């Protein structure tokens, strides 16, 4: 059982950087090729000004209402944040109220590692890198439309270590077009040989409106997928990576605090094009959970960065949203987290929880699945929808 730091109860901050060198055919993130009209050619000075105005507006309207507006984690995601110059991160991080030991992650694409100095990112305050390796097979990297080769990932990793990064995640995907069990395991083997602190191992999904949805590649059959998953989990475990969430594996104490805060249904501020946030506000003794959203298109966002769309989460959706997140954590969460996060009492959920407990799918001492329930997570969660 990981030792959750108490600091997790303070909010996180997500900052979106919406540009990439080019769009990968499987990706449905809010990312725009740098040369496209919607990408505007990426003017990072203009974007930084927009982020500062966005922060100022949310600080006055919403952050001021948070109980402890000090960030335990900051996550610069994308898009490809490693396209942006280190001074953008330095300027923001100087301004933000951060916990002394805040985890500050930046996503990096191995194909952009030479654009800026990694030491300058560290100097700017980034203390965790998340490198988008995806695969170590050049054939698969090409099919995935990636801008880098396998050796670029190894080079990026070595440079990050040399620059002083001591907390590095590698993103990998599995279930790639025509991937065999041996190929998927070879990818994991190559990743663990680099000795990262964390591995995110995502099954490739075909997302609507992507290039892969228009021309679906030949994916491995169900039996192959099942074998990749079973042997892959064993390989990661044997290499010292504990699975703590569906796709997240860490060495002890290196769990991603920022993502844990999402899964524990904690609050977070979202800055940048298309960024989402979540605020728990108190009104007349009642909790109100609000979601925030910013304009998606970079050129719309930079024109009106102070505009934040607010949507309350209806009370009838709260149990499902809480479970959708909390049960992704392998150890789940304490039952008494439900009330401060949602305003619902644990006993209100008993008519749904008890039948699942009787079927051996969830635990009775904790808001968590059993190992059996974890295998059928989607159907457990669907009981609350």
Ligand X SMILES: C[S@@+](CC[C@H](N)C(=O)[O-])C[C@H]1O[C@@H](n2cnc3c(N)ncnc32)[C@H](O)[C@@H]1O
Q: Which of 10, 82, 105, 109 binds ligand SF4 (CB under 6 A)?
A: 109
Contact status: 220 vs ligand SF4 (CB under 6 A): no
Q: Which of 20, 129, 250, 337 binds ligand SF4 (CB under 6 A)?
A: 20
Q: How far is CA 73 from CA 12, 29, 249, 268, 278, in A?
A: 5, 21, 18, 9, 14
Site for ligand X, residues 166 to 195, rule: CB under 6 A = 171, 173
List Cβ neighbours of 238 (8 Å cut-off, separation of 6 or more).
none
Contact status: 205 vs ligand X (CB under 6 A): yes
Binding partner of residue 204 among ligand X, ligand SF4, none, CB under 5 to 8 Å per kind? ligand X
Task: Indicate the length of the chain as a whole number.
Answer: 385
Please identify, using beta-carbon distances, which residue of 174 and 301 lies nearer to ligand X: 174
Please identify, using beta-carbon distances, which residue of 132 and 220 lies nearer to ligand SF4: 132
* Binding segment toward ligand SF4, per CB under 6 A, in 16-24, 52-60, 224-232, 357-365: 16-24
Strands 268-271 and 12-17: what pairing? parallel
Site for ligand SF4, residues 72 to 91, rule: CB under 6 A = 78-80
* Binding segment toward ligand X, per CB under 6 A, in 23-31, 87-95, 268-276, 368-376: 23-31
Q: How far is CA 40 from CA 14, 101, 138, 338, in A?
A: 22, 36, 30, 43
Crossing angle of helices 86-95 and 44-61, in 10° steps, is: 20
* Binding segment toward ligand SF4, per CB under 6 A, in 24-32, 192-200, 210-218, 333-341: 24-32
Please identify, using beta-carbon distances, which residue of 23 and 231 lies nearer to ligand SF4: 23
201 touches 246 (CB < 8 A): no
Q: Which of 14, 19, 26, 136 binds ligand X (CB under 6 A)?
A: 26
Binding partner of residue 23 among ligand X, ligand SF4, none, CB under 5 to 8 Å per kind? ligand SF4
Cis status of the peptide bond prior to 79, with omega within 30 of 0: yes
Q: How far is the CB of 47 from ligand SF4 (least distance, A)?
A: 16
Please identify, using beta-carbon distances, which residue of 26 and 265 lies nearer to ligand X: 26
Q: Which of 30, 40, 109, 137 binds ligand X (CB under 6 A)?
A: 109
Site for ligand SF4, residues 297 to 336, rule: CB under 6 A = none
Contact status: 18 vs ligand X (CB under 6 A): no
Q: How far is the CB of 105 from ligand X (least distance, A)?
A: 11
Binding partner of residue 241 among ligand X, ligand SF4, none, CB under 5 to 8 Å per kind? none
d(CA 250, CA 116): 28
Strands 128-134 and 98-108: what pairing? parallel
State which residue has the least CB distance to ligand X: 132
259 touches 248 (CB < 8 A): yes
Biggest CA pair distance of the chain:
59
Site for ligand SF4, residues 27 to 56, rule: CB under 6 A = 27, 29, 31
Instruction: List contacts with ligand X (CB under 6 A).
Output: 26-27, 29, 77-78, 80, 107, 109, 132, 134, 171, 173, 202, 204-205, 207
Instruction: List contacts with ligand SF4 (CB under 6 A).
Output: 20, 23-24, 27, 29, 31, 78-80, 109, 132
């Amino acid at each position: 059982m990981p030792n959750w730091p108490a600091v997790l109860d303070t909010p996180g901050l997500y900052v979106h950087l919406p540009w990439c060198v080019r769009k990968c055919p499987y990706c449905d993130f809010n990312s725009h090729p740098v040369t496209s009209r919607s990408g505007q050619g990426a003017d990072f000075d203009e974007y930084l000004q927009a982020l500062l105005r966005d922060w100022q507006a949310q600080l006055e309207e919403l952050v001021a209402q948070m109980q402890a507006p000090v960030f335990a984690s900051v996550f610069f995601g994308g898009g490809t944040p490693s396209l942006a110059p280190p001074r953008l991160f330095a300027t923001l991080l100087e301004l933000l109220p951060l916990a002394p030991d805040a985890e500050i992650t930046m996503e990096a694409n191995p194909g952009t590692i030479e654009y800026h100095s990694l030491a300058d990112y560290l100097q700017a305050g980034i203390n965790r890198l998340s490198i988008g390796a995806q695969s170590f097979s050049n054939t698969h990297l090409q099919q995935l439309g990636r801008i880098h080769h396998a050796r670029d990932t190894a080079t990026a990793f070595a440079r990050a270590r040399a620059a002083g990064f001591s907390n590095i995640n590698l993103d990998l995907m599995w279930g790639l077009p025509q991937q065999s069990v041996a190929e998927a395991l070879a990818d994991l083997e190559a990743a663990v040989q680099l000795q990262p602190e964390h591995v995110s191992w995502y099954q490739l999904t075909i997302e609507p409106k992507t290039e892969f949805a228009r021309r679906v590649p030949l994916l491995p059959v169900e039996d192959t997928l099942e074998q990749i998953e079973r042997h892959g989990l064993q390989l990661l475990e044997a290499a010292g990576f504990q699975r703590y969430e569906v796709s997240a594996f860490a060495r002890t104490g290196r769990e991603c605090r920022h993502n844990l805060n999402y899964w524990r249904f904690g609050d977070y501020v979202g800055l940048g094009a298309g960024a989402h946030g979540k605020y728990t506000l108190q009104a007349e003794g009642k909790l109100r959970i609000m979601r925030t959203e910013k304009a998606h298109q970079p050129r719309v966002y930079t024109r009106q960065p102070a505009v934040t769309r607010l949507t309350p989460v209806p009370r009838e959706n709260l149990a499902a949203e809480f479970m959708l997140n909390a049960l992704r954590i392998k150890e789940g969460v304490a039952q008494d987290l439900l009330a401060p996060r949602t305003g619902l009492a644990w006993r209100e959920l008993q008519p749904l929880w008890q039948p699942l407990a009787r079927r051996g799918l969830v635990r009775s001492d904790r808001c968590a699945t059993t190992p059996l329930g974890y295998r059928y997570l989607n159907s457990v969660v669907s009981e609350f929808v």
